């Protein structure tokens, strides 16, 4: 479904969305509530009010609509700014066989930025590579250049970060997670990864579905 089609969908009524199915308005509202509450697909299906096919279809629609709205917001606003600090990092999202052991193909790298202090704001995006060009593009699109920016010592980050930000510093994770001399760290971003990975079902760690869940 294209962004234009999603834009039209946000303006449709219940009758348009449920056209051709036996979904009642009460069940539609229930599914929307449970989706926003963070209930899992399996727990909703187990309740037996609607079929697993319907749960999958509606949850997927909700994700697409919210994802489209978030993308529109991101085009207009950047996180950070003068006097504010943003932490940057990358993390691999991938499935494991039987939830343990070696990683399976089909996931992807996610690059993120988290504004520290006060109301935390986050930007996340799945990327094909962690090279200088890709990370530089993410930084320019999502983070205000007047920010103070902290990251680990991943080499591809340094040039675009020094070029874009008013102040840039790093922490060497081979030595410590928080630099004892400068107090630079990326602990806020590391904590964000844990929360996001706990929230996003592992079955959605595939390349085609992960971006919709971020």
Tell me: the pLDDT tens digits for 180-199?
Answer: 999 999 999 999 998 888 77
Helix and strand totals (H; E) in the chain = 9, 5
**134 and 128 in contact (C-beta within 8 Å)?**
yes
Compute φ and ψ for 71, nearest 5 degrees: -60, -40
Q: Hey, what are 13's tokens?
A: 């009524």
pTM: 0.65
* Alpha-helical runs (H) found in 119-205: 132-142, 155-164, 187-199
- Name residue, tokens 């919709």: 212
Instruction: Give the tens place of pLDDT for each residue, 110-137.
Output: 999 999 988 888 998 889 899 999 999 9
Compute φ and ψ for 11, nearest 5 degrees: -100, -5
Answer yes or no: is pLDDT of 210 > 70. Answer: no
């Amino acid at each position: 479904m294209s962004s234009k089609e999603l834009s039209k969908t946000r303006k449709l009524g219940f009758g348009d969305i449920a056209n051709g199915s036996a979904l009642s308005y009460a069940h539609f509202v229930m599914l929307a509530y449970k989706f926003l509450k963070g209930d899992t697909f399996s727990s909703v299906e187990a309740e037996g009010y609607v079929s697993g096919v319907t749960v999958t279809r509606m949850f997927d629609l909700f994700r697409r609509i919210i994802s489209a709205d978030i993308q529109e917001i991101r085009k207009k606003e950047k996180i950070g700014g003068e006097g504010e600090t943003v932490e940057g990092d990358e993390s691999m999202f991938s499935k494991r066989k039987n939830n343990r052991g070696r990683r399976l193909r089909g996931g992807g790298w996610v690059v993120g930025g988290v504004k520290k202090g006060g109301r935390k704001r986050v930007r996340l995006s799945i990327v094909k590579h962690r090279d200088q060009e890709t990370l530089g593009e993410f930084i320019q699109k999502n983070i205000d250049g007047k920010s103070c920016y902290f990251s680990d010592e991943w080499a591809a980050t340094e040039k675009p970060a020094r070029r874009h930000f008013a102040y840039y510093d790093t922490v060497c994770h081979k030595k410590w997670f928080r630099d004892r001399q400068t107090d630079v760290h990326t602990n806020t971003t590391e904590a964000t990864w844990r929360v996001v990975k706990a929230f996003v079902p592992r079955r959605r760690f595939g390349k085609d579905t992960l971006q919709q869940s971020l």
